[in-house]
């Protein structure tokens, strides 16, 4: 699979405490492997087909699985974020690899920008086990979020059953959106990451065996497959999906 195009999610960043325990957990549940970056203090996440993200020791941040969207120009996109009512850090370079910014939409969901220089981000097939495959905005104000993402990335929206919205980039489905419900595990808007697995039931059982918890049990996703939402023993939320 070719590198993601501008406007697509292109990378994830796992911020977690107890790094070595976390590595063992995700290796068993998602099949992730790790590439060490000497002297950098972080590791590459890979799914066998290639790199999918980075793993960082969450010493000063809440545990999370962050998302990044590829852009043609981080500087120009930061200006769009601010004009559209979001917040954005001033852009900065990650060595020769790329230029990024940490951003939040007007409802507070974090979404970061990546302008490739030396590294394009994910180049793996999203349906390969261990690959991030779907990204979902749980938000307090869907209408406000939809306008923001249209202004910043050019995403359009398609209404689906059960008050669900799909974000599209041309004809490409890039993510979803739903309003935070009363039973949500999160009080604040956020972007959730779904990872492909070959056997959802096995992944859930392994996660629980290793100390993870179930936020939403395995359920059918019409015309897609089976999914479940989990939290790692280190407190990081994520979801798995097995495609039909």
Q: Return the closest-CA partner of residue 13 out of 135, 125, 137, 164.
A: 135
pLDDT band at 68 (very low <50, low <70, confident <90, very high): very high
Which of 84, 116, 148 represents a domain boundary (last residue)?
Answer: 116
- The residues, any chain, with a CB within 8 Å of residue 87's CB and separated by 6 or more, are 81, 103, 104
Q: Are 110 and 159 in contact (CB under 8 A)?
A: no
Looking at residue 36, its pLDDT comes to 81
Both 110 and 136 in a single domain?
no
Q: How far apart are CA 31 and CA 203, in angstroms?
A: 10
User: How many angstroms separate the CA atoms of 170 and 230, rounded?
Assistant: 31
Which pLDDT band, with edges at 50, 70 and 90, does 11 fall under?
very high
CATH of the domain at 67: 3.10.180.10
Cα–Cα distance for residue pair 12/138, rounded to 1 Å = 17
Count: domains in the chain: 2
Say yes or no: 100 and 145 in one domain. Answer: no
Distance from the Cα of residue 149 to its chain's centroid: 16
Query: Quick check: is 200 in a domain?
Result: yes
Q: What is the reported pLDDT for 15?
A: 96
Closest by CA position to 232, among listed 208, 196, 216 = 208
Domain assignment present for residue 39? The answer is yes
Whether residue 141 is found in the same domain as residue 85: no
Considering the domain boundaries, does residue 14 fall inside one? yes
- Rounded CA separation 63/184 (Å): 17
Q: Are residues 107 and 187 in the same domain?
A: no
Domain-ending residue, one of 116, 149, 178: 116
Q: Does 110 fall in a domain?
A: yes
Is there a single domain that holds both residue 60 and residue 91?
yes
User: Are 239 and 142 members of one domain?
Assistant: yes
Residue 3, domain member (yes or no): no
DSSP strand E in the chain: where?
Answer: 9-16, 33-36, 42-46, 51-57, 64-70, 87-88, 92-94, 98-101, 103-104, 112-116, 132-139, 156-160, 164-169, 172-179, 190-196, 213-221, 225-231, 237-243
Q: What is the pLDDT of residue 183?
A: 54
**What residues make up the domain containing 69?**
9-116
User: Is residue 44 situated within a structural domain?
Assistant: yes
**CB under 8 Å to 32, separation ≥6 — which residues?**
23, 26, 45, 46, 47, 52, 130
Q: Backbone phi, then psi, for 153, in 5-degree steps?
A: -110, -5
Do 108 and 177 lie in one domain? The reply is no
Question: Within 13 A of 181's CA, how many CA atoms are on the CB side?
Answer: 7
Of 61, 88, 116, the residue that ends a domain is: 116
Q: Whole-prediction pTM value?
A: 0.95
- Say whether both 34 and 96 belong to one domain: yes
Whether 237 and 141 share a structural domain? yes
**Are 29 and 60 part of one and the same domain?**
yes
Q: Is the pLDDT of residue 185 over 60?
A: no
Is residue 209 in a domain?
A: yes
2 occurs within a structural domain: no
């Amino acid at each position: 699979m070719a590198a993601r195009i501008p406007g697509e999610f292109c990378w994830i960043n796992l911020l977690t405490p107890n790094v070595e325990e976390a590595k063992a957990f995700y290796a068993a549940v998602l099949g992730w492997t790790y590439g060490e970056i000497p002297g950098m203090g972080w590791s590459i996440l890979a799914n066998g087909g290639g790199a999918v993200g980075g793993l960082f020791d969450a010493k000063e941040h809440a545990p999370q699985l962050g998302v990044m969207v590829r852009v043609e120009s981080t500087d120009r996109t930061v200006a769009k974020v601010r004009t559209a009512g979001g917040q954005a850090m001033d852009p900065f370079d990650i060595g020769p690899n790329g230029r990024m910014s940490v951003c939040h939409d007007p409802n507070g969901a974090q979404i970061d920008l990546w302008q490739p220089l030396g590294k394009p981000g994910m180049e793996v097939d999203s349906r390969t086990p261990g690959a991030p495959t779907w990204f979902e905005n749980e938000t307090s104000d869907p209408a406000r979020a939809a306008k923001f993402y249209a202004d910043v990335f050019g995403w359009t929206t398609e209404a689906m059953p059960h008050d669900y919205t799909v974000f599209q980039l041309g004809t490409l489905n890039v993510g979803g959106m739903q309003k935070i419900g009363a039973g949500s595990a999160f009080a604040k808007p956020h972007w959730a990451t779904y990872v492909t697995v070959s056997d959802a039931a096995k992944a859930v059982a392994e996660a629980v065996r290793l100390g993870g918890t179930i936020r939403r049990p395995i359920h059918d996703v019409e015309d897609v497959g089976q999914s479940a939402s989990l939290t790692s023993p280190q407190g990081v939320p994520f979801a798995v999906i097995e495609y039909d």
